[in-house]
Amino acid sequence: MYRPATPLASDSISTAPGSVQKPSALRAPPLALLGKHSARPQIPFLSALAMLGYGLAGAVSPYLGVWLRNHDPRLPFVISGVVLLLTALGLSRVERGLAQEAALTKPAAPAKPLGAVATLFIASMVILSLGYQLHFAINSAPFFLRFAAPDQLPWLMPVFWIGFNLAMFPASAIVKHRGGLIVMGAAGLLGALAVLVAEIAGSLNVLIAAQFLAGAAWGCMLMSAVSAALAIGESGTEGKVTGLVFSALALATFARMAAVAGGLQKLPEYSPLLHWAPVACWSVAGAGLLVIAASRMQARRI
């Protein structure tokens, strides 16, 4: 079994992978357009397609970090800035066209205020996002360093994102028939189990399988969260609820950055908390979402 030579090596690497994944509320506007102008049965598949870029970015980020060591570090900022500008211009043109078409057909209905279900849904999203940040950005690299050398991390960390990308499209079919809240809750419980296995894994192969399942669970959670947000906000608040989903992701990212900046992962007294918090976050939020989904189904029957 490989052991890192010094704790400093693992500490410096453990925070790097998560630092390239920056959730952003900029994803909300195009998804809001998707929710307003797409047929309801198509939304789960389109949500998975939208989140595919998120997963692909996470998968290639370790390799990109290695490649950028020999290139100008300003290059990705220039490329991403140009792509963002072109995307924003294209979306603004599409939105103006859709708005004019909608104005000719029917007047816009007034948006309803967010209810208790939306509030509980966003609170659960914050907890799920925090569990993801703690598991992937802080704990995953040290888990792998129990069995592998540091230079193998760029090949091992993307296992999480491979599971993420592969699970979303099959899960979108379940969301289409059962709803996003149910899939989110079930995926949260499955992800908690996968993180628990990763925590106690006794070999590299078991850890790889656990990371793959954890990534698959997070992919199902995120894809179904977008679908659920669009369904909850179907009365005219699609943009608001979807924006809050990505704001929850951003809030969890800032919480993780604050914990790393404060050196929380280096303090022995907080080590058990950081290791077991992802399991608690995903299991508690997953169970809560299943309760919300069951209550909504019961209310529809009455």
Q: What is the C-alpha to C-alpha distance for residues 30 and 92, in angstroms, rounded to an integer?
A: 10
* Helix (H) or strand (E) segment spanning residue 56: helix 43-68
Q: What is the C-alpha to C-alpha distance for residues 276 and 190, in angstroms, rounded to an integer?
A: 15
pLDDT of residue 132: 95
Given a cut of 70, whether residue 32 has pLDDT beyond it is no
Given a cut of 60, whether residue 244 has pLDDT beyond it is yes
pLDDT of residue 52: 73
| Confidence band for 113, pLDDT divided at 50, 70 and 90 | low
For the residues 283-295, what does the mean pLDDT come to? 93
For the residues 170-190, what does the mean pLDDT come to? 91
Is the CA virtual torsion 288, 176, 253, 156 positive or negative?
A: positive
Q: What is the C-alpha to C-alpha distance for residues 47 and 183, in angstroms, rounded to an integer?
A: 13
Among the residue ranges 89-103, 157-171, 260-274, the one predicted with the least confidence is 89-103
In CATH, which of 2.30.30.60, 1.20.1250.20, 1.20.1740.10, 3.40.50.1220 is domain 40-71+109-301? Answer: 1.20.1250.20
Break the chain down into helix, strand, coil percent, rounded to 5: 85, 0, 15
Q: In sequence order, which residues have a C-beta less than 8 Å from that of residue 198 and are 6 or more positions away?
A: 135, 139, 140, 143, 207, 210, 211, 214
Q: What is the pLDDT of residues 120-145, one digit of tens each?
A: 999 999 999 999 999 999 999 999 99
- Name the phi and psi angles at 228, rounded to 5: -65, -40
In contact, 260 and 177? CB cutoff 8 Å: no
**Selection from 67-71, 80-84, 93-97, 195-199 with the highest mean pLDDT:** 195-199
* Helix (H) or strand (E) segment spanning residue 260: helix 238-261
Place of tokens 């140009």: 82
Q: What is the C-alpha to C-alpha distance for residues 250 and 243, in angstroms, rounded to an integer?
A: 10
**Which tokens in the block code for residue 125?**
């999203």
pLDDT of residue 269: 81
- 10 Å CB burial of residue 264 (0-12, 13-18, 19+) is middle
